[in-house]
Structure 1
Amino acid sequence: MKLALVGDIGGTNARFALWRNETLESIRVLATADFASPEQAVSHYLAGLGLAPGSLGSVCLAVAGPVGGEHFRFTNNHWRLSRAAFCRTLQVERLLLVNDFTAMALGMTRLREHERVLVRPGVAESDSPVVVIGPGTGLGVGTLLPLGDGCWKALPGEGGHVDLPIGSLREAAIWQHLHGQLGHVSAENVLSGNGLLLLYRTLCALDGHSERLATPAEVSAAALAGDPVAVEVLELFCCWLGRVAGNNVLTLGARGGVYIVGGVVPRFAAFFQASGFVRSFASKGCMSGYFEGIPVWLVTAEYPGLEGAGVALQQANFRRMGGA
């Protein structure tokens, strides 16, 4: 039997693994900037394992953006993909593309207890939807729907591009400045790695500070070291993440809980847990009581998107073989 490969492709990194017996093997992380196309990256991955094109029977790639049709253009990197050309180049029998947060959401079904940190205590309702939201290169949002008997369906979406919600006069002033620069201000403009730097520059412009920090990593490091401007940036970031996550809970009736994923928040996990995230999450006026008992977790698992891509491939193969 030929091998199955799964991939989780973001703006900066492409993660690949073999999927065998419902388990990830030979995980590698490659920089998307180092390759002209996904075919080149996969070929490089296979060569590193001593495998030639034609070794793969099926591939599932989790990709950022709406999935459908023959051609796909990656949202946060320079790659493009033609399904037919990909299969022809790599001699693959079957290619499945899924939205990256569909895969991320499915990955939550395989989490082990030590791979998540409780941020807001509560008891998840097993028959209610679950929100999965994560700042990274962009902002991803996914939904898990319970189907019964321990089965779940992941709903793709582009919730990172919703309007940035305003909860205070300070936030309104920041929004106004951003609107002057960007026009439409989305949640992703702020809730992403680059969003940290954009917020920092905005506060410097509004308050007359000189800009000393030049990267998102410098902003978060300065905040953890006590720099007052950077501390406000990180606090605003956490509060806005809470507000956007709470909006999703109300929209979906997601009393099954919320998972915070992605590469940004774990870098300042202790700050995040002590921030205004929880307050902003449930501050919804007359509907604030709705949030009673809804838990929130910060996910620390290393490769949940790859795990979810494996689950997606497994489910697709099950359906193709006539499963219920």
Structure 2
Amino acid sequence: MPTLHDTDNSMAFPILIGDIGGTNARFAILMDANAEPKQFPILATADFPTIDEAIQTGVLDKTSLQPRSAILAVAGPIKGDLIDLTNSDWVIEPHAMIRGLGFETIMVINDFEAQALAAASLGPEHLEKIGGGEIRPGASRVVVGPGTGLGVAGLVHARHTWFPVPGEGGHIDIGPRTQRDYELFPLYEPIEGRISAEQLLCGRGLMNIYHAIAEANGTEPVATTPSEVTSHGLDRSDPAAVEAIELFVTYLGRVAGDLAMVFMARGGVFLAGGIAQKIIPALNEPRFRAAFEDKAPHSAILRTIPTFVITHPLAALSGLAAYARTPARFGVSTQGRRWKA
């Protein structure tokens, strides 16, 4: 049962599409190129020992449809026939999945590749603009998504085709700039001796910031989860949570601006994931764009680059559906990532 290394991106309908994150898994079935995806309830990855069992129990047992193909977007690098998820115990074994679940073809891509596909295909009704700047058609784009981790992907347009560029941009270094930063950075929990962007810009990163603020202030933490920090910060009922959200937004602006320069993303920077959607009021305050644009000597360029929050509740699935309908529109590599019965 060889892995395909071809350039034929077409897959047989019906197609199961899945967005597999560290915490949740989202699935839908696309009947044909003109249909809207049939969505299924969101599954918690911790509730199932394997992805195969989650698909069988959470999808196939709940429908008479039998997908012939599957396109799965996963949080983690895709190397070989055993694909470990970065923030989950699930392991994807495409050959075993074909045998056990009856698929003819399986394709696996990076989860933020799927978010990049969404950034190329979502309409304005699913985007909340933050600050100034305008999209330059055909220009590069960037997707940044704080969630269970910090996902990053680029999107490059050439030859009438969108090429998603996955990577591990969430693990770049981030350092102090202000006096308050210099007080807090020694208190942030590092990873192997350094502070990466992901150590601050994800769910546990928000807790990292919050606990450092409480320690610096000599106060006891009130919130115990990222959602509590978010809610207390937005309603201003906990001063440490208020500052945590302010710093989170500032650091996100800095990192988003850095990535905009890396890709010269004149097509826009798109913030994905549930955290960004929840903190839109904080992102709309001046500090996010101020941090994004504070990139001397290139601040004038950054001021022309628009930033958006993706508000579609299932953006990655939307991106996968767009790819499944018209794969020729996207330059998604299948080499080493496509398996056939």
The TM-score, its normalising length taken from structure 2, stands at 0.87
In structure 2, the CA distance between the partners of 1:318 and 1:122, relative to structure 1 (3 Å rule), is closer
Alignment equivalent of 1:63, drawn from 54, 60, 74 = 74
Tell me which amino acid in the other structure corresponds to 2:169. Answer: G
Q: What is the Cα-based RMSD across aligned positions, in Å? A: 2.0
Segments of structure 2 that go 5 or more residues without pairing to the other structure are 1-11, 331-341
CA offsets, 1:251-288, max 9 Å, x none?
11111111111110211211221151100001012121
Matched, 1:88 2:102: no
Matches within 5 A, 1:220-239: 220-226=230-236, 227-239=238-250
The answer to whether the 8 A contact 2:37-2:321 is kept is no
Matches within 5 A, 1:29-68: 29-44=42-57, 45-51=59-65, 55-68=66-79
CA offsets, 1:112-131, max 9 Å, x none?
22111110222222232101
User: How far has the Cα of 1:184 moved from its partner?
Assistant: 2.2
Alignment equivalent of 1:251, drawn from 262, 265, 274 = 262
The answer to whether the 8 A contact 2:114-2:316 is kept is yes
- Matched residues in 2 for 1:106 and 1:279: separation? 28
User: How far has the Cα of 1:221 moved from its partner?
Assistant: 1.2
- Matched residues in 2 for 1:200 and 1:288: separation? 29
- Matched residues in 2 for 1:180 and 1:286: separation? 30
User: How far has the Cα of 1:166 moved from its partner?
Assistant: 2.7
- Matched residues in 1 for 2:92 and 2:246: separation? 38
Matches within 5 A, 1:1-324: 2-19=13-30, 20-28=32-40, 29-44=42-57, 45-51=59-65, 55-149=66-160, 151-178=161-188, 183-226=193-236, 227-314=238-325
In structure 2, the CA distance between the partners of 1:259 and 1:180, relative to structure 1 (3 Å rule), is closer
CA offsets, 1:98-119, max 9 Å, x none?
0000001101222122111110
The answer to whether the 8 A contact 2:29-2:67 is kept is no
CA offsets, 1:207-227, max 9 Å, x none?
211111111111111112212
More helix per residue = 1
Equivalent residue of 2:113, what SS? Answer: helix
- Matched residues in 2 for 1:94 and 1:132: separation? 28
The answer to whether the 8 A contact 1:70-1:84 is kept is yes
In structure 2, the CA distance between the partners of 1:299 and 1:216, relative to structure 1 (3 Å rule), is same
Where in structure 1 do 4 or more consecutive aligned residues deviate above 3 Å?
179-182, 311-319
Q: Which residue of 1 aligns with 2:335?
A: none
Segments of structure 1 that go 5 or more residues without pairing to the other structure are 320-324
The TM-score, its normalising length taken from structure 1, stands at 0.92
Equivalent residue of 2:214, what SS? Answer: helix
- Matched residues in 1 for 2:214 and 2:35: separation? 48
In structure 2, the CA distance between the partners of 1:161 and 1:92, relative to structure 1 (3 Å rule), is same
Equivalent residue of 1:8, what SS? Answer: strand
- Matched residues in 2 for 1:94 and 1:13: separation? 23
The answer to whether the 8 A contact 1:65-1:158 is kept is no
User: How far has the Cα of 1:141 moved from its partner?
Assistant: 0.6
User: How far has the Cα of 1:82 moved from its partner?
Assistant: 1.3
Tell me which amino acid in the other structure corresponds to 2:282. Answer: F
User: How far has the Cα of 1:179 moved from its partner?
Assistant: 5.2
Equivalent residue of 1:264, what SS? Answer: helix
- Matched residues in 2 for 1:21 and 1:315: separation? 8
Tell me which amino acid in the other structure corresponds to 1:198. Answer: N
User: How far has the Cα of 1:171 moved from its partner?
Assistant: 1.6
In structure 2, the CA distance between the partners of 1:22 and 1:241, relative to structure 1 (3 Å rule), is farther
The answer to whether the 8 A contact 2:77-2:84 is kept is no
Count the aligned residue pairs.
316
Q: Which residue of 2 aligns with 1:322?
A: none
Tell me which amino acid in the other structure corresponds to 2:48. Answer: F
The answer to whether the 8 A contact 1:235-1:275 is kept is no
Q: Which residue of 1 aligns with 2:334?
A: none
In structure 2, the CA distance between the partners of 1:18 and 1:276, relative to structure 1 (3 Å rule), is same
Equivalent residue of 1:66, what SS? Answer: coil
User: How far has the Cα of 1:2 moved from its partner?
Assistant: 4.9
- Matched residues in 1 for 2:201 and 2:130: separation? 18
The answer to whether the 8 A contact 1:191-1:237 is kept is yes
Q: Which residue of 1 aligns with 2:7?
A: none
In structure 2, the CA distance between the partners of 1:143 and 1:191, relative to structure 1 (3 Å rule), is same
